[in-house]
Amino acid sequence: MAPRTILLAILVGFVGVAVYVDTSLAKNHNDSTKEVETKNAEVVVATAKTPPVNDGLPMPGFDITPLTTALMITDPQNDFLTPDGVAWDVVSKSVKANGTVENLEALFKVADETGLPVFISPHYYYPSDHRWKFEGTLEVLMHEIKMFDRPSQLDVKNFKGSGSDWLERYKPYINNGKTVVTSPHKVYGPESNDLVLQMRKAGINKVILAGMSANLCVESHMRELIEQGFEVMIVTDATAAAITEHYDGYKAALINFRMIASSINNTENTVNAIKDAYKK
């Protein structure tokens, strides 16, 4: 057999795995909901709204377990998610296409209704942060446009309604006395804040992750939480990213979400899975 034919046979054999009738969070390739195993099965590549099916990669799955699973949101703040925000010009296309604002609210709402624990990892910059001696590309940009700026750790003057503040529609869920708001992360990941400590102390070992922005803080939180031993799934249309003339941050993130997280799925399926988990 020619080398090209052998390679083709291997590839076809690799992608010829089960097609699932139900692509909800808990399904994996050993699940009883297999429809058929066939080399001609349809391939569905992941998008913001569509979970992957038969895309040639394993499906580890993600079971939502009350008490040990939490919803974790990065940067649900005005500078990212409102037209007056300083990043709106570059993220608005992705935010609108994914329905990110509405989908984050749907996740907050179902968590509030079911009692699913919620953690927020915010992004704040103080005057001392503007004296850093070196920065990465988008750190420079965020500091130039005064993104997430606050006068100090203890000063909330002019905070309400500012770019650093939560969206008004999220405040009833965040300011409910139950949601844990961690100390701020400073670059993209949670290594510099107390998120991992807070979740460990709460008995959390599984994380449903969403927020802004996909290829920066969401992806960085995903990577670090996995390295810290948490099981992570991503809600793909409850995040978004900058899209510029030459670069699409959301597309960059989506590939890594698929290759690294235990599961990726849309908001509708995630909300239903949360409700189902809390009925048991």
111 falls within a domain: yes
254 falls within a domain: yes
Q: Are residues 112 and 228 in the same domain?
A: yes
CA distance 103 to 172: 16
Q: Are residues 182 and 236 in the same domain?
A: yes
Q: Are residues 85 and 143 in the same domain?
A: yes
Q: Are residues 15 and 133 in the same domain?
A: no
Q: Are residues 17 and 74 in the same domain?
A: no
**73 - beta bridge partners?**
120, 210
45 falls within a domain: no
CA distance 266 to 274: 12
Look-up: residue for tokens 């391939």?
A: 43
What count of other Cβ atoms lies within 10 Å of the Cβ of residue 14? 11
61 falls within a domain: no
Tens of pLDDT along the chain (280 residues) come to 444 433 333 333 333 333 333 444 644 334 433 444 445 679 999 999 999 999 999 999 999 999 999 999 999 999 999 999 999 999 999 999 999 999 999 999 999 999 999 999 999 988 898 898 999 988 888 888 787 888 898 899 899 999 899 999 999 999 999 999 999 999 999 999 999 999 999 999 999 999 999 999 999 999 999 999 999 999 999 999 999 999 999 999 999 999 999 999 999 999 999 999 999 7
Estimate to the nearest angstrom the gap between the alpha carbon of 73 and the chain centroid.
Answer: 7
CA distance 214 to 271: 19
According to the model, what pLDDT value does residue 137 have? 86
Q: Are residues 197 and 114 in the same domain?
A: yes
Q: How far is CA 199 from CA 131, 171, 230, 243, 253, in A?
A: 31, 21, 10, 32, 24
274 falls within a domain: yes
Q: Are residues 122 and 210 in the same domain?
A: yes
130 falls within a domain: yes
238 falls within a domain: yes
According to the model, what pLDDT value does residue 146 have? 81
According to the model, what pLDDT value does residue 27 have? 46
Q: Are residues 139 and 26 in the same domain?
A: no
CATH number at residue 152: 3.40.50.850
What count of other Cβ atoms lies within 10 Å of the Cβ of residue 234? 29
Q: How far is CA 217 from CA 14, 187, 214, 221, in A?
A: 33, 8, 7, 6
49 falls within a domain: no
Q: What's the number of domains the chain is made of?
A: 2
Q: Are residues 109 and 153 in the same domain?
A: yes
Distant-in-sequence, close-in-space partners of 193: CB < 8 Å, separation ≥ 6: 121, 182, 183, 184, 185, 186
Q: Are residues 104 and 197 in the same domain?
A: yes
Q: Are residues 145 and 204 in the same domain?
A: yes
CA distance 221 to 190: 6
According to the model, what pLDDT value does residue 149 have? 84
According to the model, what pLDDT value does residue 24 have? 47
| Domain limits for position 18 | 3-37
Q: Are residues 105 and 229 in the same domain?
A: yes
Pairing of strands 34-37, 18-20: antiparallel
Q: What is the pTM assigned to this prediction?
A: 0.85
Q: Which of 211, 158, 147, 161 is nearest to 182 (CA)?
A: 211
